[in-house]
């Protein structure tokens, strides 16, 4: 037998049998190109081929937004659990338990404080990974807590939205969070503190109809879906074909609903600049 059969062939077979980890590669949801997971994370979950912005977790948002990824999470007030004793395919209490185990989050919003561009800031992030970021009583409590913390620290509040709307398992109680969060925004207005909203994909339903559209500055990530009702529902209601790109961030920017569309890697610097300018405007007295 030659050295080819005794040495080379076994080595080749060993290479072919070597298992590739399942989490080494992923596919872009938009262009379907393969991407190394480590490259995707380095690019803040933005596809290097087409620029598509994939979803991000709460932890990722906070690390990307605050200076050096340093921040302090706050404990949020508890809300009544399952006040309607709701059940669909499973009990609401069981669904919450499963979601908490899967996402390692208590609810669909997390709040933290730290520094952005050298300025103190409070950040609230909606967790799409927790029941599609739906808004219930716990989210209302979290938003109020974020506003109160911003007032206590005399710091701006930045909210990252990502939601499918109101949480059906809480019925009317979920809809009551729309006026509650609006009151929290008014508290910030009275305290003369900046309120900045960053809308990510998707921002829909009761969230888009309340605190998501009340920012002093409205920002969105590229191609984010933003709207109240779905496009098909609107077309069936008005019996007309909607324009291309309707409810996408760029369309809303062109029609005056947004102040800017910012790519994710540029967001921290933009937020830092805006906070600095708004803080300066707040403390600078008007010219005589």
Q: What is the domain partition of the chain in residue ranges?
A: 22-54, 56-278
User: Which pLDDT does position 238 carry in this prediction?
Assistant: 86
- Determine whether the annotation assigns residue 144 to a binding site: no
68 dihedral zone (left: phi>0; alpha: psi -120 to 50; beta) = left
Q: Are 168 and 136 in contact (CB under 8 A)?
A: no
The stretches in the chain having pLDDT less than 70 are 1-22, 282-288
pLDDT at 232: 86
- At residue 242, the pLDDT reads 84
31 is in an annotated binding site: yes
What digits encode the pLDDT tens for the residues 235-271? 888 888 888 889 999 999 999 999 999 999 999 999 9
Cβ atoms of 212 and 199 within 8 Å: the answer is yes
- Tell me the C-alpha to C-alpha distance, in Å, between residue 228 and each of 222, 232, 260: 18, 12, 20
In DSSP terms, which residues pair with 115 in a beta bridge?
120
Q: Establish whether 189 is an annotated binding residue.
A: no
% of the chain at pLDDT higher than 70? 90
CA 258 – CA 177 distance, rounded (Å)? 23
Looking at residue 243, its pLDDT comes to 87
- pLDDT, residue 128, reads 97
Q: 215-234 burial string, b = 16+ CB within 10 Å, else e? A: bbbbbbbbbbbbbbeeeeee
Say if residue 93 carries a ligand binding annotation: no
* Whole-number pLDDT of residue 285: 45
Its pTM surpasses 0.85? yes
Q: Which architecture characterizes domain 56-278 according to CATH?
A: Alpha-Beta Complex (3.90)
């Amino acid at each position: 037998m030659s050295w080819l059969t005794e040495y080379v062939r076994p080595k080749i077979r060993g290479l072919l049998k070597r298992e590739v980890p399942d989490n080494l590669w992923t596919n872009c949801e938009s262009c379907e190109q393969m991407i190394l997971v480590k490259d995707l994370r380095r690019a803040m979950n933005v596809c290097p081929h087409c620029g598509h912005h994939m979803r991000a977790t709460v932890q990722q948002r906070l690390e990307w937004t605050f200076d050096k990824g340093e921040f302090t999470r706050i404990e949020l007030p508890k809300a009544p659990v399952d006040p309607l004793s709701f059940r669909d395919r499973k009990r609401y209490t069981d669904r919450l338990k499963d979601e908490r185990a899967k996402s390692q989050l208590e609810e669909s919003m997390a709040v933290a404080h730290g520094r952005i561009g050298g300025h103190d800031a409070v950040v609230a992030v909606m967790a799409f990974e927790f029941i599609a970021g739906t808004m219930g009583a716990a989210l209302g409590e979290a938003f109020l807590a974020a506003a109160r913390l911003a007032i206590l620290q005399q710091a701006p509040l930045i909210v990252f939205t990502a939601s499918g709307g109101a949480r059906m398992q809480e019925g009317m109680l979920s809809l009551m969070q729309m006026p509650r969060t609006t009151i929290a925004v008014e508290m910030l207005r009275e305290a003369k503190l900046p309120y900045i909203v960053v809308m990510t994909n998707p921002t829909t339903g009761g969230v888009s109809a309340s605190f998501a559209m009340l920012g002093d500055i409205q920002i969105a990530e590229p191609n984010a879906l933003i709207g109240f009702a779905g496009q098909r529902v609107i077309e069936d209601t008005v019996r007309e074909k909607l324009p291309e790109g309707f409810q996408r961030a760029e369309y809303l920017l062109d029609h005056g609903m947004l102040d800017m569309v910012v790519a994710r890697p540029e967001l921290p610097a933009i937020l830092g600049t805006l906070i600095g300018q708004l803080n300066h405007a707040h403390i600078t007295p008007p010219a005589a």
